[in-house]
Amino acid sequence: MGVSTIHGAESFYEFLRPSHREKKAFVCNGSACMCAGTQEPLKKKLQEKLGDDKVGEMFCLGHCYENNAFHYDGENYAGNDINKIDQIIKGEDIVQEKFFSKSYASTSFLMDDKLSNLDQFNEQLKKFIATDKQEITKSLLDSNLTGRGGAGFPTGMKWDFCRKAPSEKKYVICNADEGDSGAFSDRYLLEDQPLKVLFGMVICGYVIGSDEGVLYIRGEYPKSIEAINGAINSLKKAGLLGENILGTKFSFDLNICIGQGAYICGEETALIASIEGRRAEVDVRPPFPVTEGLYKKPTVVNNVETLAAATGILINGADKFSAIGNKKSAGTKLVCFDSFFNNPGVYEVEMGTPMKKVLNDIGGGFKEPIKALQIGGPLGGVIPITEIEKLNLDFQEFTAAGFMLGHASIVSIPKDFPMVEYIHHLFEFSAEESCGKCFPGRLGSYRGKEMFDQAKNKTAKIPLKLLNELLVTMQKGCLCALCGAIPTPIMNILKYFGDEMKDDMVKDN
Ligand X SMILES: Cc1cc2nc3c(=O)[nH]c(=O)nc-3n(C[C@H](O)[C@H](O)[C@H](O)COP(=O)(O)O)c2cc1C
**Binding interface with ligand X (CB under 6 A):** 147-151, 153, 175, 177-179, 264, 266-268, 301-303, 306, 480-482
Starting at the earlier edge strand, list the strands of the sheet with 212-217: 253-258, 212-217, 171-176, 299-303
CA distance 459 to 474: 25
Comparing CB distances to ligand X, the nearer of 147 and 182 is: 147
Minimum CB–partner distance for residue 271 and ligand X (Å): 7
CA distance 336 to 109: 16
Minimum CB–partner distance for residue 359 and ligand X (Å): 24
Closest CA to 363 of 4, 52, 65: 65
Cis before residue 18, ω within 30 degrees of 0?
no
Return all residues near 43 (Cβ < 8 A) that are at least 6 apart. 27, 55
Minimum CB–partner distance for residue 165 and ligand X (Å): 16
Comparing CB distances to ligand X, the nearer of 45 and 218 is: 218
CA distance 93 to 110: 30
Name the 3-class secondary structure at 49: helix
Comparing CB distances to ligand X, the nearer of 124 and 185 is: 185
Give, as one character, the DSSP assignment of residue 14. Answer: G
Comparing CB distances to ligand X, the nearer of 39 and 409 is: 409
Amino acid, single-letter form, for residue 195: L
Comparing CB distances to ligand X, the nearer of 140 and 419 is: 140
Name the 3-class secondary structure at 312: helix
Minimum CB–partner distance for residue 48 and ligand X (Å): 34
Comparing CB distances to ligand X, the nearer of 180 and 212 is: 180
Minimum CB–partner distance for residue 150 and ligand X (Å): 4
Comparing CB distances to ligand X, the nearer of 118 and 256 is: 256
Identify whether the C-beta of residue 271 lies closer than 8 Å to the C-beta of residue 277. no
**Three-state SS letters, 409-445:** CEEEEECCCCHHHHHHHHHHHHHHHCCCCCHHHHHHH
Closest CA to 149 of 409, 410, 407: 407
Identify whether the C-beta of residue 482 lies closer than 8 Å to the C-beta of residue 445. no
Comparing CB distances to ligand X, the nearer of 270 and 362 is: 270
CA distance 399 to 146: 15
